[in-house]
Amino acid sequence: MKEKEKLIIEAAIKLFAQKGYKSTSVQEIADECKMSKGAFYIYFPSKEALLLSMLNYYYDKMFTRIHHIQTKSGNPRSAYKEQLAVFFENILEHKDFITMQMREGSLPYTEEVEQCAKKIRQAVLQFHIDSLLNMYGAKAEPYTAELCFLIEGISQIYLELIIVTGQTLKPEQLAETVIKRIDDMVNGMAERNEDPFISLDEASSLFGPLYHGRPDPLSESIIKEIRIKIGKMNTISAPEFTESLDILEAEMKKKTPKQAIIKGMILNLKESEAIAKEAEQLRYLLKQQFI
């Protein structure tokens, strides 16, 4: 993302928090960025397009940090605690904007916004599923979907309490509290050996495929970028790169992916200078997960 786009997005978040989405004009956003209204439209064709970019910017910013913690930490519990703290920190950082939307409900309800929100929701649920299985193993497996919704509910109540009452609580403290509640829920469910209220298959039917080992959101973002760059290639090799990427993506989505296929397809992609950088980033990410 270009620096000017980030500047506009940050300015828009500030103004939306102060005035609400509907009450903020493109001219006001342009003035905040010290640019003309015409210059704004060079980067975003409409306020709705800006909103979508804002949601994606928030999503990428948060999950880039979460994935970095995952790759550097060898302790699943410590990693999850630190990741939850990042998740809560991102929400509290934009609490004024969130409070405004809670009060007004002013965001436009469009298919694009709905799809973007669903993508973020799916990524958050998948993040919880992977963390739960890494921490508790088979004991938590039957209850992963139900635990996800309980974690979301508990976190939302705590965050709303902090935002509404203006309490000052460090994200690390909230993360530690939530993990202790998760301990209680996992141990209680496993001890009673009861059937889950909602299965992983049922959750997947609502939010898209959810299972342990699914490609993480950052890897999926890089794959999307590679596919766009291949589409812009004007060489006879472009179809071969597309085929390699298709095979790689299909293999990553399998519950038991073959490492040789993943390595081979990435090597194929690295043969092109146009996508070699992204292919190397993907290789590094997948090394933590599959290779």
Q: What percent of the chain has pLDDT over 70?
A: 86
Degrees, nearest 5: CA angle 82-208-289: 45
Q: What's the one-letter identity of residue 246? A: D
- Cβ neighbours for 52, distance < 8 A, ≥ 6 positions apart: 112, 113, 116
Query: Is residue 265 over pLDDT 90?
Result: yes
Tell me if 86 sits within 8 A of 69, measured CB to CB: yes
Query: Is residue 289 over pLDDT 60?
Result: no
pTM beyond 0.85 = no
Q: What percent of the chain has pLDDT over 90?
A: 24
First to last CA, the chain: 29
Is it true that domain 48-207 has CATH number 3.40.50.620? Answer: no
Residue 52, pLDDT score: 85
Residue 287, pLDDT score: 67
Lowest mean per-residue pLDDT among 81-90, 173-182, 212-221: 212-221
Rounded to the nearest integer, the mean pLDDT of the chain is: 82
What are the tens digits of pLDDT across the range 128-176?
888 888 889 888 888 888 898 899 889 888 887 877 777 777 889 899 9
Question: Could you tell me which of 30, 52, 54 has the C-alpha nearest to residue 42?
Answer: 30
Residue 20, pLDDT score: 81
Provide the 8-state DSSP code for 196.
P
Domain ranges of the chain: 48-207, 217-289
Tell me if 147 sits within 8 A of 128, measured CB to CB: yes
What are the tens digits of pLDDT across the range 25-47?
999 999 999 999 999 999 999 98
Lowest mean per-residue pLDDT among 1-5, 250-254, 285-289: 285-289
CA distances from 210 to 214, 218, 250 (A): 7, 16, 15
Chain CA centroid to CA 239, Å: 30
- Cβ neighbours for 50, distance < 8 A, ≥ 6 positions apart: 8, 9, 12, 29, 44
110 — pLDDT class (breaks 50, 70, 90): confident
Query: Is residue 179 over pLDDT 80?
Result: yes
What are the tens digits of pLDDT across the range 65-81?
887 786 565 688 998 99
